[in-house]
Structure 1
Amino acid sequence: MLDKLAAIEAKYSQIEARLAAPETYDDPAQVAKLNKEQNELAPVVETYRQYLRAQAQKEESEALLSDPEMKELAQEEFHQAKADLERLEQELQILLLPKDPNDGKNVIMEIRAGVGGEEAALFAHSLYRMYSMYAESRRWKTEINSVNETELGGVKEISFTIEGEGVYSRLKFESGVHRVQRVPETESGGRVHTSTATVAVLPEMEEVDVQLDPADVEMQVFRASGAGGQHVNKTSSAVRLIHKPTGMVVECQQERSQFQNRDKAMRILASRLYEAEQEKIAGEFTAERRSQVGTGMRNERIRTYNFPQGRVTDHRIGLTLYKIESIMDGGLDEVIDALVTADRAERLKSEQTE
């Protein structure tokens, strides 16, 4: 591990030297690339340098243990340096884990009402509101691609894009079946109902990121409309794409321009095709070893929102929080942090056993 870290630090120093050279700035694209590389390596290099300082401190204090006058102070510094080394080694192992190449991408989220009729549609809308508020708290931009609303304010399905730094790295664990237990507003008897909604989180892909032949895509145009048939616009600007080899259908109707809707729909289609391929690969991989935290198990119940008890439980990691109001208002960081930590621990365990 230390040899690998020394090589990373050497590369980081080379990048620093190149960025310090005036001629580098003749090529803005090269500067942007170097800055990106530097930012990616910086956390590893800084932690490695802290490790080296702790190692030097441990050796210095160890050498002073034989001095009667310095022994007590040296012993204290030795134990502190030893504890720092153990902590920093653990941090470095995590930092050196292979990174998901999609972590920096924007995401396309798709929420669909599941079991539970109108209550499921209302829950799907609540989930959309939760993710929108979470995105706003992190200064991310949310934009609806298409939505199929119900008369009572629910959504049968909604597709939206979230743009910002590290969006996929935070939201990728949200894919799966979400379950709600609450008394519906439409229920006069006060009985608790159980409903579900499905969430899919796709890294946003461009057409060039996947093998997408335009000849395989049939485009249809239609008029966008909302709940109850109210026209969003009066022109045929909404776009429906049909991927003929798979039968996959994508619609986009939120933009006024047919071209903009087609462009968005193509990105959604590319993202869905990418996800389908990744799920196929993951299915083959997890047949041999199933990770604790998955990103594509849409058929599994991953989380329950129990309103009468005020609790949210993530079943993958056994986490229960009695903060349902805060979570439904976008306070997802505690849940997501726990999922990220569990995923890192599982991957670290896998790396060590291989």
Structure 2
Amino acid sequence: MFAKLESLQEKYQELERELSSAEVFNDQERYRQLTKRHAELGEIVSVYREFTRLSDDAHSNKDLFSDSDPEIREMARAEATHLEEQLESLRLRLQILLLPKDPLDDRNVILEIRAGTGGEEAALFASDLFRMYMRYAERVGLRTELIQASESGTGGFKEVIAAISGDKVYSRLKHESGVHRVQRVPATESQGRIHTSAVTVAILPEAEEVDVHIDPGDVRVDVYRSSGPGGQSVNTTDSAVRVTHIPTGLVVICQDEKSQHKNRAKAMKVLRSRLLKAKQDEQKASYDQNRKNQVGSGDRSERIRTYNYPQGRITDHRINLTLYRLESVLEGEMDELVNALVQHYQTEALKAESDDGY
């Protein structure tokens, strides 16, 4: 591990020299590429340098173990314990930073939320979750764009699809996929009984054309008059688009834009992302079968989280994390959840690497 870290530090220093070159600066495409790589290595090198500094401190501190002053010897032993704890923490962090990166982590995402069991109450909760993700995106500086929404009779969503773009969106949100369960008393419940409903969330990495080749002959595009809310021109022109991928039967409908071309572009973006996700799921199923490891399979049928309104509690069942601040989480303050999930899956990946002889 340390030989690799030394190599990365040398590469980092080499990049710094290149970036200071006028020749590289004048080539903006190369400058952009080198800047990105420099930033990627920056955290690893920073942590490694801190580890090296503390290692030197620990080595120097050992010389005090034989000091003639017993008080200094005692202080040195206490400092040694503190330094070892810091070094162990940094060692683990370095191992995680050296894990192979998910090549999709930098991608933007397509967020899909669908009401499940629970009828209108599920549709209302789908609306609550959509608002939660939009608030979170706003808090951390991500951009959002509504693609398609199918509203229920009470103001909820039967289905809602949005694009979220910005810095490393997929790495932040990929663990949100799954079944989200809500326990609360519906507004229509006269006897105060708690109902349980479910909503499915899917986080799809935005696919590029090079990721998924779609044969034009495999796609049927139907256009029709929009029936959703909108301005006069939306409802009186054939702007709505339904795209059907014939080999898989996948259907994407988009009617939120006034332009048929914009709706078609959005629908194709969603279709590519769904096909990429299907390919990912197939590859992961094969990988899990080969390893005989079904832990954290990410299957969308799994119940991943419960939102209990009477107790103000939110529980993520995958990592046994319970927070008693449901209201603030639903307002988009998701950082504690997101960070805990990222850390958990990094640790799991580290264990897998160790099992493979890391």
For the aligned residue pairs, the C-alpha RMSD in angstroms reads 2.1
Aligned pairs (5 A) from 1:80-95:
80-95=82-97
8 Å contact kept, 1:57–1:77: no
CA distance in 2, matches of 1:191, 1:237: 44
Check the 8 A contact 2:228/2:255 in 1, yes or no.
Answer: no
Tell whether the 8 Å contact from 2:121 to 2:186 is kept in structure 1 after alignment.
yes
Q: Is the 8 A contact 1:184 1:193 kept in 2?
A: yes
Letter in 1 for 2:30: Q
Q: How far does residue 56 in structure 1 lie from its aligned partner after superposition? A: 1.7
Counterpart in the other structure of 1:210: 212
The answer (yes or no) to whether the contact 1:105–1:166 under 8 Å persists in 2 is: yes
> Is residue 178–residue 198 contact of structure 1 (8 Å, CA) maintained in 2?
yes
Is 1:290 aligned to 2:301, yes or no? Answer: no
**Secondary structure of 2:164's match?**
strand
Partner of 1:180: 182
**2:225 alignment partner, one of 211, 223, 226:** 223
Q: Secondary structure at the match of 1:9?
A: helix
Whether 1:161 and 2:173 are equivalent positions in the alignment is: no
**Correspondence list, 1:262-301, <5 A:** 262-287=264-289, 288-290=291-293, 292-294=295-297, 296-301=298-303
Alignment partner of 1:138 out of 137, 140, 150:
140
Q: Name the counterpart of 1:116.
A: 118
Q: 2:23 matched to which residue of 1?
A: 23
For 1:17 and 1:227, the matched residues in 2 are separated by 56
CA drift of 1:71 comes to 4.3
After TM superposition, the runs of 4+ consecutive aligned structure 1 residues lying more than 6 A away are 227-231
Q: Distance in 2 between the 1:228 and 1:165 partners? A: 31
Distance (Å, rounded) in 2 between the aligned partners of 1:255 and 1:316: 38
Q: In the aligned structure 2, how far is the partner of 1:291 from the partner of 1:94? A: 21
Find the aligned partners of 2:230 and 2:147 in 1 and give their Cα distance. Answer: 19
Answer whether contact 1:223 1:231 (CA < 8 A) is retained: no
- Bigger CA drift: 90-99 or 232-241? 232-241
Aligned positions, number: 353
- Cα distance 1:228–1:150, how it changes in 2: closer, same or farther (>3 A)? farther
Query: SS of the counterpart of 2:65?
Result: coil
Q: Larger deviation: 68-77 or 267-276? A: 68-77
Query: CA–CA distance in 2 between the matches of 1:147 and 1:125?
Result: 10
**d(CA) in 2 for partners of 1:119 and 1:254?**
24
Residue 77 of structure 1, CA deviation:
4.5
1:292–1:316 contact (8 Å) kept in structure 2: no
Alignment TM-score, normalising by the size of structure 1:
0.93
Show CA shifts across 1:157-212 (max 9, x none). 11101111121111111111111111111222322211111111001112222122
Q: Report the counterpart of residue 62 of structure 1 in structure 2.
A: 62
Q: 2:332 aligns with which of 330, 333, 337?
A: 330
Partner of 2:227, secondary structure, is: coil
Tell me the CA shift for residue 60 of structure 1.
2.1
| Residues 57 and 243 of structure 1, relative CA distance in 2, 3 Å threshold | same
For residue 232 of structure 1, report the CA deviation from its aligned partner.
4.1
Cα pair 1:112 1:124 within 8 Å, conserved = yes
Contact 2:234–2:257 at 8 Å: present in 1 too?
Answer: no
Which residue is equivalent to 1:11?
Answer: 11
**Partners of 2:15 and 2:236 in 1: CA distance:** 55
Do the aligned partners of residues 26 and 227 (structure 1) sit closer, same or farther apart at CA in structure 2, a change above 3 Å counting?
Answer: closer
Partner SS state of residue 269, structure 1: helix
Gaps of 5+ in 1: none
User: Which residue in the other structure is 2:249 paired with?
Assistant: 247
Show CA shifts across 1:210-236 (max 9, x none): 122222212111222326999844222
Residue identity over aligned pairs, in percent, reads: 51
TM-score by length of 2: 0.92
Structure 2: gaps (5+ residues) = none
Are 1:182 and 1:307, in contact at CA under 8 Å, matched by a contact in 2?
yes
SS, match of residue 66 in structure 2: coil
Q: Which residue identity does 2:216 align to in structure 1?
A: P
